[in-house]
Structure formats: structure tokens, C-alpha cells
Amino acid sequence: MERKTNINAEVGKQELVITREFDLPVELLFRAYVEPDIVEQWMGTKVLKLENRPHGSYQFETSHDGNVVFRANGVIHEFVPDQKITRTFEMENSPFPVQLEFLEFEKGPEDTSKLNMHIVFRSGDYRDQLLKLPFAQGINMAHNRLQEAASKLR
């Protein structure tokens, strides 16, 4: 399958760039970032607040079995419809400091579009730790499955 999402994380830098091409007109791509019920569908998180304007703020929350497992918030600095969103992003109750995100939406040929997400971290180490996060979670999940399987054997 075609690899549409690219991550560019140069060694030793404190930033990374995520790019993705969409088979969607740029207006629809932008809308996916603006309407709370749509954000909830693809991000898989509850949107508590989403104020789409400069100096507006947002807050996301994810629950699992009735417990809040993830909460993030940020402030929107720039909001230009169908073009760009500049915002901060911070995971609550985590050791990770706030990060700065530049989201650029580009119109592509025909009904396609491109998203350029440039994230700046407090340090290169924090960036690398965040990159390793899904990897670490994957290991934990595999480990849990192993334990489940093992406990059934007993």
C-alpha cells in the first residue's frame, strides 16, 4: 500500500514534520479540524472545548472503562480557514512539556489536499521520548496480551 503519511524527524533536532496527502478538497480537510463531532470521530477522543479563533482554547479527553486515561489542552494562536492553525498542545498529568504546532493546509491538484504539521518540542530529548511513546505502548500491550494468555494456561 502507498505510504501517504510521512514523518521527518532529523537526528539531534527538537522538531519533527508530519506530512500527509488527502483525497479530499482542502475545505473538507480543514473542517475535520474545526467541528468537534468530526474531531471526535477521527481522533477517537472526546472534545470538551474547541474555540476556533486566535486566543481560543481547546481540551480533549479520552476515557476507558469510565476512567479518564488521557487529557490534552492547548491555545490557538492563529486560525486562518482552509490555510493554517497555529496552536500549543500539552498532555495533562504527563512529564512532557507543552509543544508548539504549526498546521498548514494546502490545496492540491483536483480534489486533493495536503497537511503539513510542524511540531516544535522543548528539547530534542523530549521529542525522541514522544516518538518512542507508541512503541513503548505497543510493547506494553504485547506484554499484557502475553500475560493474559499465560494466565489462561494456569
Question: Measured between alpha carbons, how far is residue 60 from residues 66, 74, 104, 114, 135 in Å?
Answer: 15, 9, 21, 24, 22
Please answer whether residues 107 and 101 qualify as being in contact, where contact means their C-beta atoms are separated by less than 8 angstroms. Answer: no
Is residue 106 a contact point for other proteins (CB under 8 A)? no
14, 17, 31, 34: residue in contact with other proteins (rule CB under 8 A): 31
d(CA 26, CA 23): 9
Is residue 94 a contact point for other proteins (CB under 8 A)? no
Q: Interacting stretch for other proteins, rule CB under 8 A, among 9-17, 50-58, 73-81, 143-151?
A: 9-17
Please answer whether residues 115 and 20 qualify as being in contact, where contact means their C-beta atoms are separated by less than 8 angstroms. Answer: yes
Is residue 38 a contact point for other proteins (CB under 8 A)? yes
Is residue 20 a contact point for other proteins (CB under 8 A)? yes
CB-side exposure of 54: number of CA atoms within 13 Å? 4
36, 56, 108, 124: residue in contact with other proteins (rule CB under 8 A): 124
Is residue 110 a contact point for other proteins (CB under 8 A)? no
Minimum distance from CB of 56 to other proteins (Å)?
21
Please answer whether residues 50 and 38 qualify as being in contact, where contact means their C-beta atoms are separated by less than 8 angstroms. Answer: no
Number of Cβ within 10 Å of residue 28's Cβ equals 13
Minimum distance from CB of 131 to other proteins (Å)?
5
Q: Which residues bind other proteins (CB under 8 A)?
A: 3-7, 9, 11-12, 18, 20, 22-25, 28-29, 31-32, 38, 41-44, 115, 124, 128, 130-135, 137-138
